[in-house]
């Protein structure tokens, strides 16, 4: 089996999720012709990188991503660092001819994203963004049902929420480890780029492009201490965002995200309503897809809760795992995405979402923030 030498940058939350995927993918997808090799992990925190390498099995460490990119024994770079570094690392990696896998959001804004797209396309290197929710089997099943036309001749509504509650306390700092998401310089935006970006990526995958948006945002805690400088500074991110939109297929979209919904840790839900049927999904119950079909016999008509665990090809990816009835979890979405990437890489195809596709999400995020700023409808540029 051929080897793909990986250099992973950032050994935090996503560093662990991705490494788990890189380690497991060839065992559960043995038909792949290419196996990822944990060649090097890079983190600015040397001790953390050293511990991570020892625990997960990386052959070497680096503390400067530039040195990692200069190494001839690295084929692919996996970017798992805060958003402010995505552009610089991705462009430098492309210029060195490396494969570039990048965490979402693609960048802090679409201007940065456009530079990244130009760089990977100019270099002709394979590239992908980790919008992993597409590869949860229940969500992939939703995509298949929608593409088959099961929902009917027209889609009317798409709605999604992503709710959390971890920044309610004004004592949570901005910037620094773990709280870089509250620092607009590091993150680019708040819930819009962090959480709604996921909802938007899934939405455009399932329901097509968005024409225009009308949004409101709020920053409930106006000032926070910066974890690095210690200074109390204005908060530049959106704590909450809600928007509605028109999809190109004529349906209406409604999206909400906040980190101030007490009791919710990561409640990502979506629902889509068509002429004949509706689909509903909830991250807290990620192995289930709810489906209502008005064409069912009246006596039996109702919401079905499909346990997405069947073998025999009925349910996406599930042949790779256990026996029917046994479910899988969040981490498997990354394994599936890596498997899909390697399959595409072998056959010379682009793996979705690539940088160009992820730029569409970035443009919608920008339009949402601009709409909220100017308090009016905003077209999404194509």
Residues that bind ligand NAD (CB under 6 A): 9-15, 42-45, 48, 65, 80-83, 85, 103-104, 130, 132, 177-178, 194
Q: How many other C-beta atoms can be found within 10 angstroms of the C-beta atom of residue 29?
A: 18
Q: Is 332 left (phi over 0), alpha (psi -120 to 50) or beta?
A: alpha
Q: 9 or 74, CB closer to ligand NAD? A: 9
Q: 168 or 227, CB closer to ligand NAD? A: 227
Q: Nearest distance from residue 184's CB to ligand NAD, in Å? A: 14
Task: Report which DSSP code applies to 263.
Answer: T
**Token output for 165:** 């509650």
Q: Nearest distance from residue 32's CB to ligand NAD, in Å? A: 22
**Token output for 280:** 């509903």
Pairing of strands 127-129, 288-293: unpaired
Cis amide bond preceding 328, omega within 30: no
Owner of token pair 């980190």: 259
Q: Nearest distance from residue 354's CB to ligand NAD, in Å? A: 15
Owner of token pair 């480890």: 177
Which residues make Cβ contacts (< 8 Å) with residue 103, sequence separation at least 6?
Answer: 10, 14, 79, 80, 81, 86, 129, 130
Q: Are 86 and 76 a contacting pair, CB within 8 Å?
A: no
Q: Nearest distance from residue 130's CB to ligand NAD, in Å? A: 5
Q: 114 or 194, CB closer to ligand NAD? A: 194
Measured in whole angstroms, the distance separating CA 74 from the mean position of its chain's CA atoms is 24
Return d(Cα 18, Cα 333) in angstroms, integer: 10
Find residue 270's DSSP bridge partners.
Answer: 160, 281
Q: Nearest distance from residue 259's CB to ligand NAD, in Å? A: 13
Q: 130 or 243, CB closer to ligand NAD? A: 130
Q: Nearest distance from residue 193's CB to ligand NAD, in Å? A: 8
Q: 51 or 307, CB closer to ligand NAD? A: 51
Owner of token pair 């700023």: 373
Q: 45 or 226, CB closer to ligand NAD? A: 45
Q: Nearest distance from residue 36's CB to ligand NAD, in Å? A: 18
Helix intervals (H) in the chain: 13-28, 46-56, 65-70, 86-95, 110-123, 137-147, 184-187, 191, 197-207, 331-347, 355-374
Q: 10 or 316, CB closer to ligand NAD? A: 10
**Token output for 28:** 């559960």
Q: Nearest distance from residue 280's CB to ligand NAD, in Å? A: 21
Which residues make Cβ contacts (< 8 Å) with residue 152, sequence separation at least 6?
Answer: 274, 275, 276, 277
Q: Are 334 and 20 a contacting pair, CB within 8 Å?
A: yes
Q: Nearest distance from residue 322's CB to ligand NAD, in Å? A: 23
Cα dihedral 103, 49, 186, 199 sign: positive
Cα atoms in the Cβ-side hemisphere of radius 13 Å centred on 78:
28
Q: 161 or 278, CB closer to ligand NAD? A: 161
Owner of token pair 């009016």: 376
Q: 43 or 357, CB closer to ligand NAD? A: 43
Q: 59 or 326, CB closer to ligand NAD? A: 59
Q: Nearest distance from residue 7's CB to ligand NAD, in Å? A: 11
């Amino acid at each position: 089996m051929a080897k793909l030498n990986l250099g992973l940058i950032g050994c935090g939350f996503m560093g662990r999720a991705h490494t788990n995927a890189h380690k497991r993918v060839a065992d559960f997808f043995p038909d792949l012709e290419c196996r990822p090799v944990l060649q090097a992990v890079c983190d600015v925190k040397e001790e953390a990188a050293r511990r991570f390498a020892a625990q997960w099995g990386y052959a070497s460490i680096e503390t400067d991503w530039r040195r990692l990119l200069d190494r001839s024994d690295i084929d692919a770079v996996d970017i798992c660092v805060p958003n402010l570094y995505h552009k610089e690392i991705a462009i430098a990696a492309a210029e060195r001819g490396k494969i570039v896998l990048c965490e979402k959001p693609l960048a802090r804004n679409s201007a940065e994203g456009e530079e990244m797209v130009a760089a990977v396309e100019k270099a002709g290197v394979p590239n992908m963004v980790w919008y992993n929710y597409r590869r949860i089997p229940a969500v992939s099943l939703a995509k298949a049902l929608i593409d088959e036309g099961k929902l009917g001749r027209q889609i009317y509504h798409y709605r999604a929420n992503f709710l959390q509650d971890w920044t309610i306390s004004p004592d949570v700092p901005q910037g620094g480890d773990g709280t870089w998401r509250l620092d607009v310089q590091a993150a680019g935006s708040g819930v819009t780029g962090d959480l709604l970006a996921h909802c938007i990526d899934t939405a455009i995958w399932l329901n097509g492009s968005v024409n225009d948006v009308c949004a409101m945002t709020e920053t409930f805690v106006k000032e926070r201490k910066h974890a690095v400088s210690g200074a109390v500074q204005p908060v530049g991110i959106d704590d909450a965002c809600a928007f509605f939109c028109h999809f190109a297929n004529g349906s209406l979209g409604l999206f909400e995200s906040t980190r101030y919904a007490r009791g919710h840790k990561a409640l990502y839900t979506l629902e889509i309503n068509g002429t004949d049927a509706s689909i509903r999904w909830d991250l807290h119950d990620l192995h289930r897809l709810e489906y209502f079909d008005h064409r069912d016999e009246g006596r039996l008509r109702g919401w079905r809760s499909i346990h997405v665990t069947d073998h025999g090809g009925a349910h996406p990816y599930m042949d790779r795992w256990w026996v029917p009835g046994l479910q899988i979890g969040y981490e498997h979405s990354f394994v599936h995405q890596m498997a899909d990437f390697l399959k595409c890489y072998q056959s010379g195809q682009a793996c979705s979402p690539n940088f160009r596709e992820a730029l569409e999400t970035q443009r919608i995020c920008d339009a949402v923030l601009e709409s909220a700023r100017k308090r009016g409808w905003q077209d999404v540029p194509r």
